Structure 1
């Protein structure tokens, strides 16, 4: 029986790669894992971690895929959160994850943008200020990794994103296509998948009040206040006052939290873990951006924690994992610059990326949208609203299609979700899942990613 990698039993073999002075990488002795830094710009260092699947199926007609996972935030770590909390081979207790996406694909995690997770900059001026700048750095990373490895080039790459990562995914998709067409990047783009993604902030903030009113979490007064701030945000976006819109978004979240008695923005059926969050916020003593990041961590951790240890992600990534990786500079703390990442992107945070989705669809790229039913921050109601705004020529036919019910494995007794598709647009409604779909509904999420990637293991 094939074994998943067990962290504590791996013996390391150091492989230093210098490609134009930009890449430094380590790998395990059996080649199942490789990780390192790419200097995407002078003094700007992006960390990546590649897992090669032990479940790989060799099928000439169906090449084995690679999933590039992009986390949200902005400033949340894919190497930490996506890997250990959601889809990687091991959970935060370093136990094998039965629902790891390695069963369907190889997995490439990155800490993006620079300053996120283990990634770091040597000068604050080097933090990215736009999604496009982040995509340019990611494209540089892909060029350095794929152009030097023919094995990687044979596998189609699927960009799968969560939350704010969706904005990075669509800008990266377009940037990568441009680099491929120019002959600068040797890569096959398989598709882009947007999980509970912050594609149209305006549509999401307008969804919160009515949705929570229908769920009895807001009264008429709360609804009126919510809609009033949402209208202000809309006007600020129209006037190009994007930083002000981000400030208003922060105000709206506070109003929603107070008027709903602290609804969980990542699962509207629950209350926010306010005690844990308060403890984290006091300990961090940082500005609102860092508080948002800690709340993001806390919300996910509360869904994935199991008995037998604390499973704390900060302790894990700054302890045993940092020791294993060997390559992380001593003065770099995992997540230490994440607050700055959010701050520097404040001018882009509320900008929509619907046009980029349209461009990808027009270019024939497979675009998948998936959303958890009980997510609030990137609600299905908001996602449905921005999908209806697409100018893609196939939208009318897409909207006319009936949805197909989804089940898990051979069990047809419980509906797990729905799928609607036409040509290269796919929309998955995942029932009983919040913001973190792979954690809340691991079985249907695994089957979904198998379908998205057309994995030969499906």
Structure 2
């Protein structure tokens, strides 16, 4: 225990003198619970402002659970440098201060001293996040009161919903001085059963399976639904993984993150259906970047780790599988009731955006749960016009909004919209923050 305490103290002290690359940044650990240490990495905006705090603070959460925001989200999606360490021309730090968080504990550079400290539910994850943000504001008090937005991709969107509830509760009691204004759910794992049940219809409509393939997929998906409805949540997760295998077999390995591409065919033969499904969710990126995954792992555990002075015993991503496994029972549970709570009891803006080429968190599955939401603006949203998104004379998608809820359909984008369609991304960033 003494080793970890000393390591964290040294790291926090070193933050002022260490960084990776030329962009102004801040990073550190927060001990969110006994035996649980969460890592954050802040990049200050490069916008032409007098003070950084003139621009909002955006928290980016990767999916999985177990996907690293400081690794995948930063280097592969929207950080200042790409995986080749070249400057990214559409990085979000051009307009915002961006806080990458390795969440839940055990993800990326975040770690637990024993697996018993891993989180078992979405609410436990949310409570840890509140503690993380308390520690962040303590170290960076200039951001207190600055507009805060949480953007979560895939499982990150699911986590963000309950984080919103717990953050607002903490704000109301005065235990944290944040200013949470919005939550964005990008291709998010909000209602897993809805998503799984719509894989077959989407693939059939796209011509990627025939009727026999469709029926095979649906039979497996309905079994996952049955298990969930009967309360066998762990078994439902395993059946979800089995359904993925049916899809891969029937489509000759369509990429779950972009239906226009194929996943690599040289997966290890000794992986189970569950392991393949788990690894794809943790990776939270197309299978075609498997070589990039190896490069990212090397980058994070060598140059980044050394530059940020991460304690030697902390290995980036080493506990990711355990993170996913520990949440297996919670994995298939929806968070739609939490979304309704936010819509009914707060003024927080909720944005749902989806790349229309995604399969794992497909747009048809998102529409199902959105249309069932119970909130005062439900009828107004249903009757609201669906408007086009034009960026630089290109049709990048459509949006629909009412009150504090929005839905953005983004064209030419799969699971990771900010990477696939930066122009379309600007539309929902501006809508929520007025910047972008």
> Normalising by structure 2, what TM-score?
0.91
In the alignment, what sits opposite 1:292? 278
Which string of whole-angstrom CA distances, capped at 9 and with x for unpartnered residues, describes residues 119-178 of structure 1? 111111111111111111111001111245331113111000000111110010001111
Which string of whole-angstrom CA distances, capped at 9 and with x for unpartnered residues, describes residues 354-376 of structure 1? 11111111112100000001000
Q: Of residues 195, 213, 224 in structure 2, which corresponds to 1:222? A: 213
Q: Of residues 404, 414, 418 in structure 2, which corresponds to 1:424? A: 404
In the alignment, what sits opposite 2:342? 360
In the alignment, what sits opposite 1:12? none
* Displacement after TM superposition at 1:450 (Å): 3.1
Q: Name the SS for the 2:252 alignment partner.
A: coil
* Displacement after TM superposition at 1:293 (Å): 2.6
In the alignment, what sits opposite 1:86? 77
In the alignment, what sits opposite 1:444? 424
- Comparing 106-115 with 209-218, greater Cα deviation is found at 209-218
CA distance in 2, matches of 1:48, 1:419: 32
Say whether 1:338 aligns with 2:320: yes
Q: Name the SS for the 2:372 alignment partner.
A: coil
Contact 1:171-1:356 at 8 Å conserved across structures: yes
Superposition RMSD on alpha carbons, in Å? 2.6
Q: Of residues 394, 415, 425 in structure 2, which corresponds to 1:435? A: 415
Q: Name the SS for the 2:70 alignment partner.
A: helix
> Normalising by structure 1, what TM-score?
0.87
Q: Name the SS for the 2:189 alignment partner.
A: coil
Say whether 1:348 aligns with 2:340: no
CA spacing shift, 1:176–1:25, aligned 2, 3 Å = farther
Contact 1:63-1:156 at 8 Å conserved across structures: no
Contact 2:253-2:262 at 8 Å conserved across structures: yes
Q: Name the SS for the 1:407 alignment partner.
A: strand
Which string of whole-angstrom CA distances, capped at 9 and with x for unpartnered residues, describes residues 412-431 of structure 1? 1x211111111101111100
CA distance in 2, matches of 1:261, 1:296: 22
* Displacement after TM superposition at 1:32 (Å): 2.1
* Displacement after TM superposition at 1:57 (Å): 3.2
CA spacing shift, 1:286–1:213, aligned 2, 3 Å = closer
In the alignment, what sits opposite 2:3? none
Q: Name the SS for the 1:47 alignment partner.
A: strand
* Displacement after TM superposition at 1:448 (Å): 2.7
Which string of whole-angstrom CA distances, capped at 9 and with x for unpartnered residues, describes residues 284-325 of structure 1? x799447633576384474799xxx99821111111111110
CA distance in 2, matches of 1:301, 1:102: 27
Q: Name the SS for the 1:227 alignment partner.
A: helix
* Displacement after TM superposition at 1:23 (Å): 6.5
Contact 1:304-1:439 at 8 Å conserved across structures: no
- Comparing 219-228 with 43-52, greater Cα deviation is found at 219-228
* Displacement after TM superposition at 1:65 (Å): 0.4
CA spacing shift, 1:355–1:310, aligned 2, 3 Å = closer
Contact 1:200-1:353 at 8 Å conserved across structures: yes
In the alignment, what sits opposite 1:319? 302
Contact 1:64-1:105 at 8 Å conserved across structures: yes
CA distance in 1, matches of 2:245, 2:101: 31
In the alignment, what sits opposite 1:4? none
Say whether 1:41 aligns with 2:33: yes
Q: Of residues 66, 80, 99 in structure 2, which corresponds to 1:75? A: 66
Q: Of residues 382, 396, 401 in structure 2, which corresponds to 1:399? A: 382
CA spacing shift, 1:310–1:245, aligned 2, 3 Å = closer
Q: Of residues 24, 31, 34 in structure 2, which corresponds to 1:32? A: 24
In the TM superposition, 1:96-245 aligns within 5 A as 96-245=87-236
Q: Name the SS for the 2:41 alignment partner.
A: strand
CA distance in 1, matches of 2:8, 2:255: 45
Which string of whole-angstrom CA distances, capped at 9 and with x for unpartnered residues, describes residues 340-394 of structure 1? 0000000100000011111111112100000001000000010111101100110
Aligned length: 426
* Displacement after TM superposition at 1:58 (Å): 5.2
Q: Which runs of 5+ in 2 are unaligned?
A: 1-6
Q: Name the SS for the 2:131 alignment partner.
A: helix
In the alignment, what sits opposite 2:4? none
Which string of whole-angstrom CA distances, capped at 9 and with x for unpartnered residues, describes residues 316-340 of structure 1? 11111111101x2212221111000
